[in-house]
Amino acid sequence: MQHLLASDDPPPFSVVNEKGRAPLLLLCDHASKAVPKALGDLGISEAELSRHIGWDIGGLDAATALSEALDAPLVASGYSRLVIDCNRWPGGEGSTPEVSDDTVIPANRHLTKEQVDARAEACFWPYHREVDRLLDGMTAEGRKVCLLVVHSFTPVMKGFERPWHVGVLWNDDPRLPAPLLAELRRDPALVVGDNEPYSARASYEYTLNAHARSRAIPHCSLEVRQDLMSAPDDARAWGRRLAPAIKAAVAAALS
């Protein structure tokens, strides 16, 4: 298989606060808008790549602030979701989209299985292997932990103005999402979505299924609306604002 990444390309993942002592692993599946040099600009402009189709705007800054506030380790992906989406099954629905929010991605058209596999081996599997490594270490000797994936979402999609400030996405394990929803709703200024604006019950969901459900550890995803944290300082402020609710929910989930 052709090696996609050059020596001067960014790494496929980064780790923040690896030795954090909180019983929680934070993830950011769409942390970066980087593209391997071998793929050029994917055939789209920098402005398009910087939109929500390229990455989760504010997601990494919010997750980093959460990591600091909670003393929790964080694993962040290293490449744009348009190269390969780290929360989609490789080769499956939405993994390497030919069109995203009405924007055509020329470099993703008519990809062969070998090309998709090369992207996965370079940018997808290293990130997920690192998640496995940290979870294995954190759960060693029976230690209890939770998994929380941080995302961000657009304020408007297909003409619909989304009213939620934050959303909690989950499937069939209520241990973490139920107390997190309750804690977030203590803030009267927040409009909180339960499996809104997306659902973790969608067939394409990868990260929670691959890492948390398989280990039977409490888990969910947290979504924050992008217009609230488009500036790095605002994103970090949202991370700090949400930290107490997450800390209380983790404690409840593991009690």
The CATH number that applies at residue 155 is: 3.40.630.40
Most distant CA pair in the chain, distance = 53
Give the pLDDT confidence of 68-89 residue by residue, as tens digits.
999 999 999 999 999 999 999 9
Residues of 72-88 as b/e, b for ≥16 C-beta within 10 angstroms?
Answer: bbbbbbbbbbbbbbbbb
Could you tell me whether strands 146-153 and 219-225 are parallel, antiparallel, or unpaired per DSSP bridges? parallel
pTM, two decimals, is 0.97
**Per the domain annotation, does 97 fall within a domain?**
no
And the tokens for 47?
């402005």
Give the pLDDT confidence of 155-210 residue by residue, as tens digits.
999 899 999 999 999 999 999 999 999 999 999 999 999 999 999 999 999 999 99
DSSP, collapsed to helix, strand or coil, labels residue 111 as: coil
Is the pLDDT assigned to residue 115 strictly greater than 70?
yes
**Per the domain annotation, does 123 fall within a domain?**
no
At residue 2 the predicted structure's pLDDT band, cuts being 50, 70 and 90, is: low
**Per the domain annotation, does 179 fall within a domain?**
yes
The tally of domains found in the chain comes to 1
Domain that holds residue 149: 13-35+54-79+132-254
**Per the domain annotation, does 85 fall within a domain?**
no
Give the pLDDT confidence of 50-67 residue by residue, as tens digits.
999 999 999 999 999 999
**Per the domain annotation, does 103 fall within a domain?**
no
Question: What CA–CA distance (Å, rounded) separates 39 from 126?
Answer: 18
**Per the domain annotation, does 96 fall within a domain?**
no
At residue 1 the predicted structure's pLDDT band, cuts being 50, 70 and 90, is: very low
**Per the domain annotation, does 107 fall within a domain?**
no
**Per the domain annotation, does 164 fall within a domain?**
yes
